[in-house]
Amino acid sequence: MIITNSEKPVTVAVGTHGSNEAYSFTVPVNSVEQHLLLDSNGAGDTFVGGFLASVCLSLKADPKLQLEGAVLSKDHLTQAVRAGNLIAGQVVQRYGCDFPTLPQLKRLIEDSQSDLKLN
């Protein structure tokens, strides 16, 4: 389960395969300066898109994760949350559901010196 709450850290709760036990952790959010916030429409959907794109890239990059029943690690989930936050942070700086082009997004990742990768 992923719980976002604006500029507050994202909470990730993960169940353990074959058990009733779970654990949770948080991922910090890079806040957008107040004067840059224009419109939150589409931010949640965009977060999900960035999150799922990162998960798909993780699955593509590591064939072991493609096995049925494979579980993404905390590192994979953290990377996916960071990807979702990165793109959602851009969407809230625009009116409507507009988002950066791929070249703009690649430049944003490079500028942030992030370890996020677009393949």
Helix axes 74-91, 43-61, angle to 10 degrees: 140
Is the Cβ–Cβ distance between 29 and 18 less than 8 Å? no
Task: Assign 3-state DSSP to the chain and report helix, strand, coil percentages, each to 5.
Answer: 45, 15, 40
Is the Cβ–Cβ distance between 88 and 99 less than 8 Å? no
Catalytic sites, residue numbers: 45
Looking at residue 36, its amino acid is L
